Structure 1
Amino acid sequence: MGMRDMAIDYDLLPKRSILCIDVKSFFASVEAVRRKIHPLDAYIIVVSDKKRPGSVVLASSPRVKGEFGIKTGSRMFEIPNDERLMIVEPSMKLYLKVNSMIIEIFKRFVPVEDLHIYSIDEVFLDVTASWRLFGDKFEIARKIQRTIFKELKLVVTVGIGDNPLLAKLALDNEAKNASGGIAYWSYQNIEETIWKIPRLGDMWGVSHGYIKKLNNMGIHSVYDLVHADKHKLKDRFGIMGLQLYYHAWGVDYSILSEKIKTREKSFSKSQILQRYYYMEEEIVLVIREMVDEVAMRLRANNVAAGKVALGLAYSRDIEEKGFKHQRLLHRGTNSTKELTVYFIQIFKCYWRGQWVRQIYVVCGKLQPAIYEQLDLFTSNEQLERNQMLDEIMDTIRLRYGKDAIFWACSLMKGGTFLKRANHVGGHKG
C-alpha cells in the first residue's frame, strides 16, 4: 500500500460512479428470446453462414461456451454433433433493433451526455448524478438488470468503477462470471484487483502486438507492468507506454460527458472471400465492387478521399501473408471511377499471382468534397458525367435498395456484390 501511495495520489484523480454494461452473449441471447428460451438455458450458436464448414462463430450461449468450449471466433467444423445444439445464422436487423431498445432503457437512468456506446452490446453510463432518483451505483445497476430482463428477457452484467477503465476491467475480469453479474473495482482495491489480473491480454487496450513487445522487455503480467520503469516504457512505446503503465495503476482521467466525438478519419471495407481467388479479372472485379460501396459512403458524408490503401491477404499455404500499400492522391475525390483506377493501379503494381482470400480497401485523409477543383487531364464534361452517374446510382440505391442498380460486371463469375447487397455489417440482415 505504501508504494501505491508514493506513486499515485488517488485523491487527486476524478472519482465517478461508472457502469460498464454488457449484454451476455448478445446475438445468441436475442435468438434464444426469439424462441422463448431463457438465454442462460439455451444451446444456441450463431454462425455467419451455415453452409460453409469454415464459417466463423459470431456468438454462442453461455452454456455452449461452458460445456462445449465453442465461443466467438470458433469455426463451424469445430462444433460437435450434439442434438442439443441449435445453429442459426445472424439476424443483424433484429439485433440492431433490440440494441436501440436497450439504449432507450439506459436513457431513463442517465442523460445522453452521460451515455457512451462502446459496441453493439456494451455501453458506459456515468450515474454519478443519478443517485437522487434511483439510489446508489449498486442499486442503479440492479434496477437496470431487472428492467432489461423484465422488458426484453435479456441478461446483462455490470462492471462498476471509479472511472471508465476500472468499470471495464471489473466487467471483463469479474462481473461476467459473478453470481449476481455485478462487480465493483475502486481506487481502494487496485492491488487486489488490477494487479491480480493473470494475463496481459486481459488488460483493456493491451493488444497481441504490445504483449509480444512487453514480453521482450521482461514484462509478462500486469504486476510486472506496474513495477516496470515508466521511462523505459515511454522510450519504447512513446505516449502509449505511459498509458499502459498508468492503466496498470488504475489511472484514467476520462469523463464521459466531456468525451470528444471524433469524426471518422477514413472509410473502409473488408471482405473475406468465399473461396481463394487467383484470376486477375476476378480479383479486380471484387475490388471494383468494394470501391463502389466505399465511394457511395464518401458521397453520403460529403467528403472526398485524399489517400487510398489496398490490402490483400493470401492463402495460408503461401509463406508471404499478403500486402498493404497506400497512395496519396494529387486531389481529393469521391468519384467511383477515379478511385477504382487508383486501387487497381496499386493491385497491379504489387500482386504477383498469389491466391487471395481477403481484400481490404480504405479511403482516408478525408476532406470536404469540392467538385469545382478540376483535373487538367480530364475534361469538364467527363467530370460532370461521372459525378451525375454517381449521384443517380446513389439516389436509386437509397430509395430502392443496393441491388436496385449495379454494374453489369457484377453478374460475371467471381462477383460478390449481389450476394452481399442485403447484408448488414457483412452478415445477413
Structure 2
Amino acid sequence: MTERNILLVDMESFYASVEKSTAPHLRNQPVIVSGDPERRSGIVLAACPIAKQFGVKNAEQLWEAQIKCPNAIILRPHMQQYINVSVMITELLEQYTDLVEPFSIDEQFLDITGSTKLFGAPEVIAKKIQSSIRSKTGIYARVGIGPNKVLAKMACDHFAKKNTSGIYELNFSNLKQDLWPLPVGKLFGVGKRMEKHLNRMGISTIGGLAVHPITLLKKRWGINGELLQRTANGIDPSPVTVNTHDQQKAIGHNMTLPYDYSTFEDIKVILLELSEEVARRARFKHYIGHTVSVSIRGADFNFISGFHRQQKLDSPTHFGMDIFNAAVELFQQHWDGQPVRSIGITLSQLQSDRYYQLNLFELHQKKENLSKVFDEIHTKYGPASLLHASSLTKAGQANHRAEKIGGHYK
C-alpha cells in the first residue's frame, strides 16, 4: 500500500492577517480582532504575532489583552470577508489536488499523494502553497506534512508554527524522537479534563500513553482509550474527503446574552428566536430532527449553574414552533431560577426531510406551506424582515443578530 502524503495548511492569525492584508498601515502594528465589549462578547478572536509578543492569547478577555498590550489596535470581526478569503484559499489549494478538506475556516487538509509527480516532493509543494497564498492574499501559511491527517495536524501545531520555514514533516521515523517527549495534553484529541485523568494514571507524555498497557486504557475508557493510544502512535486511517461536512449530526445555535436574563418571559423570547433560527437552517439543508436539546449557562462564574437536557419528539420536525415548545418544556423542568448568561438550542438525530412518516394528528402540510413563505421572505428581504412580535421587545436579539454571521459582524 502506497504511503499517503497529507498536508495540513494553517493560516497564521487568520482574522488579524486578513485585516492587515486590507490595511497596509496596520502591518507593523499590534492588532487584535475581538467581539463587541459593549455586548459582553469582548473575547480575543485573533491576535497578530506582534500582539502575541506582548503575551496576548486567543480566547482571553479583551480587557486582559489590553492590559498586556495597551497600544493594540482593536478591530471588530468582519466574518463575511474572512469566509470569502477562506473560500479563495480553498480554490487555490484545489490547483494542487482535488482532495481538499476544510477542517476549519483557517485550516485545510490536502491529500497530495497523487500530485507529487506533477508538482514535486511534499516539502516542495508546501513551499509553493505558502508562496501562492502569500502572493494572492498576503497571509502567511504554516504547513504540517505527514503520512496521515493526525500527524500532519500535530506537525503543523507543534513544530511548523515554531519552525522558521513554517513547514515541518512528522512521520514514523521521527515520531518517537519529536512527538513522544511532548506533554500528553499536546496530543490531538486530549483536552484539559482528559489530561488530568491521564496524569492521575501516571501518564505525563505522549510517549507514555503510546506504550501504556492497552488493557488498562480500554478498561477505563473503552474504545476511546484505544483510539487515544493509536493517535499517540501516529495511526489514523481516516481519508481526506471533500464531503466531510455534507452529513451533519446536529444543527444548533447558541447565544451569549448582552446582559443577564432573569425572568422566564425574557428568556422565552430568546428560546423562540433560537428555535426559529435552528428550524430555518434545518430546512435550508433539507433535514428534520428527532431530538431537541437546550443548554443553559448561569451568570455567576463563581457558582456554576445551568444545564444541558434533551427531549425526544413524537415525530421529527424542522418547524420552529415544534422546537420552541419542546425547548420551553425542557427549560421549565430544569431551570433553577438563577440568572442566565447564555442559551443554546440544538436539533439532532437528523434525517433527510424528503421522506417522513405522516402523522394524522399534525397539520404537516400547513406548517410546510407557512414555513416556505417565511423562508422566501427571509431570503429576499433579509433575516430581520419578518419577526415574531416578541423580538421587538427589549429582550429580543433577532434584529441585532441579523447584522452578523456566526455571532460576529459581517
If the TM-score is normalised by the length of the shorter chain, which range does it land in? over 0.9
Find 1:404's aligned residue among 385, 389, 393. 385
**1:5-404 → structure 2 map (5 Å cutoff):** 15-37=3-25, 41-51=28-38, 55-66=42-53, 68-80=54-66, 84-111=71-98, 114-197=99-182, 199-256=183-240, 263-317=247-301, 319-369=303-353, 373-376=358-361, 380=363, 383-404=364-385
Q: CA deviation at 1:372?
A: 6.8
Q: CA deviation at 1:261?
A: 6.0
Distance 2:242 2:4 in 1: 13
Distance 1:421 1:260 in 2: 28
Report the CA distance shift for 1:308/1:175 in structure 2 as closer, same or farther (over 3 A): same
Distance 2:71 2:251 in 1: 41
**C-alpha contact 2:185 2:191 (8 A) present in aligned 1:** yes
Q: CA deviation at 1:116?
A: 1.2
Q: CA deviation at 1:387?
A: 3.1
Report the CA distance shift for 1:139/1:372 in structure 2 as closer, same or farther (over 3 A): closer
Q: Which amino acid aligns with 1:121?
A: D
Q: Which amino acid aligns with 2:51?
A: V
Report the CA distance shift for 1:258/1:49 in structure 2 as closer, same or farther (over 3 A): closer
Unaligned residue ranges in structure 2 (runs of 5+): none
**C-alpha contact 1:170 1:183 (8 A) present in aligned 2:** yes
Distance 1:262 1:218 in 2: 40
User: For this pair of structures, how many residues does the alignment match?
Assistant: 408
Report the CA distance shift for 1:334/1:121 in structure 2 as closer, same or farther (over 3 A): same
Q: CA deviation at 1:318?
A: 6.0
Report the CA distance shift for 1:91/1:260 in structure 2 as closer, same or farther (over 3 A): closer
User: What do the CA deviations read for 1:391-418 (whole angstroms, capped 9, x no partner)?
Assistant: 2111100111101111111011211111
Taking only aligned residues, the RMSD between alpha carbons, in angstroms, comes to 2.0
**C-alpha contact 1:27 1:59 (8 A) present in aligned 2:** yes
User: What do the CA deviations read for 1:27-47 (whole angstroms, capped 9, x no partner)?
Assistant: 0000011111586x4411000
Distance 1:257 1:326 in 2: 31
Stretch moving more, 215-224 or 346-355? 215-224
Q: CA deviation at 1:15?
A: 2.0
**C-alpha contact 1:32 1:42 (8 A) present in aligned 2:** no
Stretch moving more, 86-95 or 384-393? 384-393
Q: Which amino acid aligns with 2:343?
A: I
Unaligned residue ranges in structure 1 (runs of 5+): 1-11
Report the CA distance shift for 1:242/1:372 in structure 2 as closer, same or farther (over 3 A): closer
Report the CA distance shift for 1:263/1:17 in structure 2 as closer, same or farther (over 3 A): same
Report the CA distance shift for 1:339/1:52 in structure 2 as closer, same or farther (over 3 A): closer
**C-alpha contact 2:40 2:258 (8 A) present in aligned 1:** no
**C-alpha contact 2:141 2:166 (8 A) present in aligned 1:** yes
TM-score by length of 1: 0.90
User: What do the CA deviations read for 1:372-405 (whole angstroms, capped 9, x no partner)?
Assistant: 72253x5x4xx54433322211110011110111
**C-alpha contact 1:50 1:89 (8 A) present in aligned 2:** no
Are positions 1:425 and 2:409 aligned together?
Answer: no
Distance 2:244 2:43 in 1: 34
Distance 1:329 1:53 in 2: 34
Report the CA distance shift for 1:145/1:270 in structure 2 as closer, same or farther (over 3 A): same
Q: CA deviation at 1:290?
A: 0.4
The aligned counterpart of 1:6 is none
Q: CA deviation at 1:239?
A: 1.2
User: What do the CA deviations read for 1:226-258 (whole angstroms, capped 9, x no partner)?
Assistant: 221111111111111111112111122223259
Q: CA deviation at 1:371?
A: 6.9
Q: Which amino acid aligns with 1:30?
A: V
Distance 2:327 2:302 in 1: 23
**C-alpha contact 1:313 1:323 (8 A) present in aligned 2:** yes
Report the CA distance shift for 1:54/1:419 in structure 2 as closer, same or farther (over 3 A): closer
Distance 1:129 1:315 in 2: 53
SS state of the match for residue 191, structure 1?
A: helix
